[in-house]
Amino acid sequence: MTATSGLLTPSEVAAMFRVDPKTVTRWAKAGKLSAIRTLGGHRRYDEREVRGLLVGVPQPRGSQN
C-alpha cells in the first residue's frame, strides 16, 4: 500500500489483475478506471474502485481462497 491510504500505484493495480502496469495506464486513458494525478504527475487509483472491479474478474484455477 502506498503512503496515502486508499490509493494504489499502477504496479499495485497491475499485480492485483495480473497484467502489465502499462495496461492499467491504458485502462485509465480509455476511461475504464479513474485515475488521480499526484503533484508529480503520477497516477494513483482508488483502492475501493479497483477492488470493486476485481470482484468481477474470474480467478485462475487453483487459486481458491
Q: How far apart are CA 35 and CA 7, in angstroms?
A: 10
Give one word for 61, left, alpha or beta, with left for phi > 0 and alpha for psi -120 to 50: beta
Nearest CA among 36, 10, 31, 37 for reference residue 21? 10
The tens digit of pLDDT for each residue in 4-56 reads 569 999 999 999 999 999 999 999 999 999 999 999 999 999 999 999 898 87
Q: Is 46 helix (H, G, I), strand (E, B) or coil?
A: strand
- Band (pLDDT 50/70/90 cuts) for residue 57 is low
Look-up of cell digits 487509483: 45
The secondary structure of residue 1, as a DSSP letter, is -
- Band (pLDDT 50/70/90 cuts) for residue 60 is low
pLDDT score for 44: 97
Q: Which CATH number fits domain 7-54: 3.10.20.440, 1.10.1660.10, 3.40.50.300, 1.20.1250.20?
A: 1.10.1660.10
Q: With 80 as the cut, is the pLDDT of residue 64 above it?
A: no
